[in-house]
A and B are shown apart, each in its own frame.
Chain A
Amino acid sequence: MIEKPIMSAAQLGMSKFTRRQFLKYSGASVIASTVPVLSISDIVQAAVSKPLPLGTPILVVVTLYGGNDGLNTVIPFQDPTYYTSRPDLNYKAENLLPLSDGLALNPAMTGIKTLWDAKKVAIVRGVGYPEPDHSHFSSMSKWQTGSPKTHLNTGWLGRWLDTQPVDPMTSISLGSILPPLLVGSKNSGSALPLGGLIIPSGSFAKACDSISKPSRADNKLMAATALSMRNLFSISGNITPVLLQPAPLPDDLPTISGGNAGGDSNLTQQLNVVGKLIAAGAPTKVWSVSLGGFDTHANEANAQAALLGTVSTSITKFLSQMKASGRSKDITVLVYSEFGRRVKANGSDGTDHGTSGPVFLIGDRVNGGFYGDQPSLSKLIDGDLAVTTDFRDIYSTILEDVLLSPAERVMGKWNGRIKAIKAV
């Protein structure tokens, strides 16, 4: 039944706007056009003039939009309840990539299995927050603000940015819209749109420039419009060979069965750019990339496997790319989604919105293995998995052990930690 309409898949799976909506829902007040927008050449220049010292920790956050089905990611294949709950949506044991404790990875995740075997993957099981919310918008907002109870206008990494010196290079999100994750009250991350920009030139450029000069008569949105045009012209046309190619159209991704909850669809390209910029010495400590399409209410198996394959391959390739740069030991990758899915499959070979799910930490600095308890398949809460680890445990750990910053200024008083990161 899947047929491509005349629009591109990029258009159909387009996600930045979902992230934009999270901004609305979480009440965050950052304006897209006032978010510093960087060009590749800006970053490359900064990499030359003030490169990140080797040995500085780098965090790469991978957000999976749509609610990834955790039970078919890290699979409890020795639990008969798994098979009875999902008679038509299960993986046979012989196809899986076994880990330990009766758990196995989805067959598509061969790259991450290799990293697991090298003890570079921590899998935190049953991660969520109290009183799970089944709405994409609300749940993602809780994950990104790091505040499940009270609505905050800032993301957890945005509040970390507030503790750092002002520098638009400190944190960069791939794509033209900044996720709430990187919105602070003083500082915010920057956005790096993918694909070359074509800038008008000559007298026409001059004329365009003159209608976008600041004007005291502009209201807020007019000023934002003018600023977005000025930003266009401030980006130098002299784009370095780091990335000359325009963004490829991600038409190979299954946007159809999981395509209505947003998320970017070119993770491979995003991580490729991040890798090149890290290798070039970009002074950036936190990167944010994303993949959408995980809202698999129907015909889930193929769609999710294709997406997990992309996640696994692109992260593995990215980390192996980093070896030559001497920075692979500095990098920690965090992979999360706004919720897992219901244990019982629905009648459409898909799953509905659920609660907890696994979170991955990957890199040389990670103590490989399982953390947190595997939620029981028989002791469900309203048909959903229990939450056994609060995401604030992970965030606090990342702040202290990866970013080497005090967690309390970001998370408030929160005691939970996981011992997944090696001491520096």
Chain B
Amino acid sequence: MDLKRLEVSRLFHRFAFGPRPGEFAAALKLGPANFKDSLLNPPLVDLGSQKEPIFSDLGPRPATNSLAVKEFSQSLRSQSKELTIWWLNQMVLTQKPLQEKMVWFWHGHWATSIGKVNYSLPMLKQNQTFRKYALGNFRDLSQVMLLDGALQIWLDGNENTLKAPNENLAREVMELFILGVDRYSEDDVKELSRALTGYQVVRSTGVVTLNQRRRDKNSVAILGKSTVMGAPDAIDHIVDQADCARFLAERLWYRFISSSENMPKDHPLVGALVDRDISRGLKVLINSQDLLNLNNSIVKSPVEWFVSVCKALKLTPSKLDSFTKLNNYLDKMAQIPFSPPNVGGWPTDEAWLSPASAQFRIAFATWLVKQADLSDIESVTPEKRISYLADLLAVPEWTPRTSSALYDVRANLPRLVTLAICTPEYVVSQ
């Protein structure tokens, strides 16, 4: 294995959404160190940035069977469609791929589904928060997320009151968002839920306000500290825990390095997160030797696979011939942005590899390749197309099996490209 190709390939597929044509070869020429610099220091102005959709407040749902409800439902659907396509376009076209990859990471971390939130406006606001704090400080992000309308709706924070505390948000703050399982007690969850009482959300806009009358203003005892705490104090206190840095490190490791290998206990990433500075952590991760360790392979999730295919084949999601078809393929492969399966976020690795998803991936690939302009590949002599495709797709190397299988179909361009993006070498970031 050519370790330089491996490292650059991993940088592209994990810390970005894959290369555009020519970028892999250019990065190889530049060398991994310089390429890392360019990932960490993107252009200040993102020329590829997609204009955010502007959503009107659709207000409360009209009465069932009323005339207005039909129009309301159509508006919900069309906003949701616009939201999805906007974000997919952003992933493909942005010039700040690391930032966007972190938006994707946070989306899976604070996993909130439009399936319960219903309205696109709060989902858009949450997505903007992820982008603003993508590489910022986790403490700031956690504070802003406490007031995130979509998250409050998703975890019933809206209903958590002095009279009747609802633990849903408090539990996930402890288990899935800030500390990790087994790093707190049941009492900590109950006490935290009291500290988080009193927030109210306007569902259609995601605007969160604090209703003092619904707030529990009594002293709470959380993780060894017993005092009167407002929700922001409580969040600060939890982010202060040393376990927070460890947990964040584990989550970054899990999504960027390996979800099957455990992070070494003494990994420098934990120390780098001492101030909860995400960009410092990522810098350590990007520069670590873990990117050269052959054990650390990872399966691209369907959206990651789709976006990297779009980039390689110069496709723009909004210009594909049918949004319904696109949505349907992503649905079949079990990953639609804004709809994680549960609050634990997206699954990893083998979960994406059932025979059923293999079938849908082949169909999806066939549909995408049909719409791609393959003239660049056509201009390459058939004998050189296999290695050309390795660079186009940032594949470190083809196995002899795949080289020979692709060689057999080298003259049939659509088939060659369809197969190449379905190979184990491409589905997996090696």
Contact = CB atoms under 8 A, between A and B. Distances in A.
B297 A134 contact: no
A212 B424 contact: yes
Given A225-B299, A225-B428, A176 B354 contact: yes
A76 interface: no
Given A176-B354, A215-B402, A382-B186, A261 B343 contact: yes
A83 B239 CA distance: 40
Interface string B401-413: 1101110110000
A43 to B, nearest CB: 15
B415 interface: yes
A31 to B, nearest CB: 5
B146 interface: no
B297 A222 contact: yes
Interface stretch (B36-44, B46-54, B110-118, B240-248): B110-118
Interface in B389-418: 399-402, 404-406, 408-409, 415
B359 interface: yes
A32 B116 contact: no
A252 B351 CA distance: 26
Given A20-B351, A211-B422, A347 B430 contact: no
Given A217-B401, A221-B350, A225-B353, A5 B118 contact: yes
Given A14-B341, A17-B351, A198-B363, A222 B115 contact: no
A12 B353 contact: no
Contacts of B356: 176, 193, 195, 197, 232
A6 B80 contact: yes
Interface residues of B, number: 83
Interface stretch (B25-33, B165-173, B272-280, B282-290): B165-173
Nearest to A39: B355
Nearest to A138: B181
A33 B299 CA distance: 13
A395 B341 CA distance: 30
A228 interface: yes
A199 interface: yes
Interface string A208-232: 1011111101111111111111011
A346 B415 contact: no
Nearest to B166: A346
B237 to A, nearest CB: 21
B91 interface: no
A179 interface: no
Nearest to B423: A211
B271 interface: no
Given A208-B362, A259-B115, A6 B81 contact: yes
Contacts of A344: 164
B359 A8 contact: no
B408 A207 contact: yes
Contacts of B299: 221, 225
Contacts of A259: 113, 115-116, 342
A272 to B, nearest CB: 19
Most B Cβ at <10 Å: residue of A5, A232, A262: A5
B336 A11 contact: yes
Interface string A193-204: 101011110001
Contacts of B116: 256-257, 259-260
Interface in B333-362: 334, 336, 339, 341-344, 346-351, 353-359, 362
Given A135-B171, A219-B428, A382-B186, A261 B354 contact: no
A46 B208 CA distance: 59
Contacts of B168: 297, 352
Contact of B336 (A7, A13, A382): A7
A297 B156 contact: yes
A262 B349 contact: no
B353 A5 contact: no
Contacts of A224: 349-350, 353
B104 interface: no
Given A211-B423, A219-B294, A17 B341 contact: yes
B331 interface: yes
Given A20-B347, A211-B419, A228-B354, A134 B430 contact: no
Interface in B160-196: 160-161, 163-168, 171, 175, 181, 186, 189-190
B311 interface: no
A307 to B, nearest CB: 16
Interface in B302-354: 327, 331, 334, 336, 339, 341-344, 346-351, 353-354
A12 B295 CA distance: 33
B339 A177 contact: no
Most B Cβ at <10 Å: residue of A33, A137, A228, A261: A228
A280 interface: no
A345 interface: yes
B203 interface: yes
A232 B118 contact: no
A3 B167 CA distance: 25
B265 interface: no
Contacts of B219: none
Nearest to B323: A6
A25 interface: yes
B148 interface: no
B399 A218 contact: yes
Nearest to B77: A6
Contacts of B150: none
Given A6-B77, A222-B428, A217 B181 contact: no
A255 interface: yes
A199 B359 contact: yes
Contact of B334 (A14, A195, A221, A228): A14
A2 interface: yes
A261 B154 CA distance: 12
A322 interface: no
A182 to B, nearest CB: 15
A215 B401 CA distance: 6
A32 B430 contact: no
A6 B74 CA distance: 10
Contacts of B186: 134, 382
16 contacts: A3-B72, A3-B118, A6-B81, A7-B339, A12-B115, A14-B334, A135-B171, A207-B419, A210-B405, A211-B401, A220-B260, A222-B399, A229-B422, A297-B156, A346-B165, A347-B165
Which 5 pairs between the two chains have the least Cβ-Cβ distance? A347-B164, A348-B159, A12-B115, A222-B424, A217-B399
Given A5-B76, A346-B165, A348-B159, 16 more contacts: A1-B118, A6-B81, A11-B339, A12-B341, A32-B351, A135-B175, A213-B401, A217-B399, A219-B295, A219-B297, A231-B355, A255-B115, A256-B115, A260-B154, A260-B343, A353-B167
Interface of A: 1-8, 10-18, 20-21, 24-25, 31-33, 37, 134-135, 137-138, 176-177, 191, 193, 195, 197-200, 204, 207-208, 210-215, 217-229, 231-232, 235, 255-257, 259-262, 297-298, 344-348, 350, 352-353, 382
